[in-house]
Amino acid sequence: HGDFSQKIDYVFKIVLIGDSAVGKSQLLARFSRNEFSLDSKATIGVEFQTKTMVIDHKNVKAQIWDTAGQERYRAVTSAYYRGAVGAMLVYDITKRQSFDHIARWLEELRGHADNNIVIMLIGNKSDLDSQRDVSTEDAKEFAEREGLFFMETSALEATNVEPAFLTILTEIYRTVS
Ligand code: GDP
Ligand code: MG
């Protein structure tokens, strides 16, 4: 037996944005609960999930916000962005349009969020490489030009999901500590 009660040193709000159906909710389900569902309706209504990780011997609680389907109606409000210190801009590597829309999401994010918010570009569904419509090079180049971190992930296969969240949390930690 031991005392597992944790002292939380930091709480970081991270918002997930990007077109509908790119896999935002499943990335969050994979990261926070190690779950995945092929039924996208399963997560509608979820506001945020939390997960605590250890960074530099500190307990860092990630509070990750999901749009709960509002992105379909372009109804993501400023309340959603308020207080966010990190943002994950997600596209689907098999849907060129979802990548082309990233510039718009970035503009919206920069209009609403804090100036020093840490932004990470995420190309999700890397398991569907045979249907790839966005090259890794194109995305890398865009990310470099815009000063974003970048990673390709698969919520389905659990590839790079934890590393992506760990990267953004570590960068946020660096900016605040
Ligand atoms: P959201 O609208 O951005 O929240 O997207 P969802 O998380 O609801 O996912 C939309 C659909 O894509 C669902 O059918 C998911 O099961 C599927 N999906 C999500 N992530 C992946 C992935 O990494 N690989 C594959 N093959 N499908 C995924
Ligand atoms: Mg969703």
Distance, CA 95 to ligand 2 centroid (Å)? 16
pLDDT of residue 168: 98
pLDDT in tens, 70-115: 676 456 778 889 999 999 999 999 999 999 999 999 999 999 999 9
DSSP E strands in 58-159: the ranges are: 58-65, 86-92, 118-124, 149-152
> Rounded to an integer, what distance in angstroms lies between the CA atom of residue 171 and that of residue 177?
10
28 lines ligand 1 (CB under 6 A): no
Q: What is the pLDDT of residues 115-138, one digit of tens each?
A: 999 999 999 999 999 999 999 999
User: Residue 80: which of 64, 96, 91 has the closest Cα?
Assistant: 64
Q: Tell me, what amino acid is at 56?
A: D
**Mean pLDDT of all residues belonging to the chain:** 91
Measured in angstroms, how far is the CA atom of residue 171 from the centroid of ligand 1? 26
**Alpha carbon distances (Å) from 139 to 28, 110, 117, 122:** 21, 19, 20, 9
Query: Using CA positions, which residue lies closest to atom 11 of ligand 1?
Result: 21
pLDDT at 30: 96
Q: Which of 25, 26, 64, 131 to mutate to test the pocket of ligand 1 (most atoms within 8 A of CB)?
A: 26
State which of 16, 40, 72 you would mutate to test the pocket of ligand 1, scoring each by most atoms of that ligand within 8 A of its C-beta: 40
Q: Is the CB of 70 under 6 A from ligand 1?
A: no
**In this predicted model, what pLDDT tens digit does every residue of 30-46 receive, in sequence order?**
999 999 988 766 555 55
What is the pLDDT at residue 76? 72
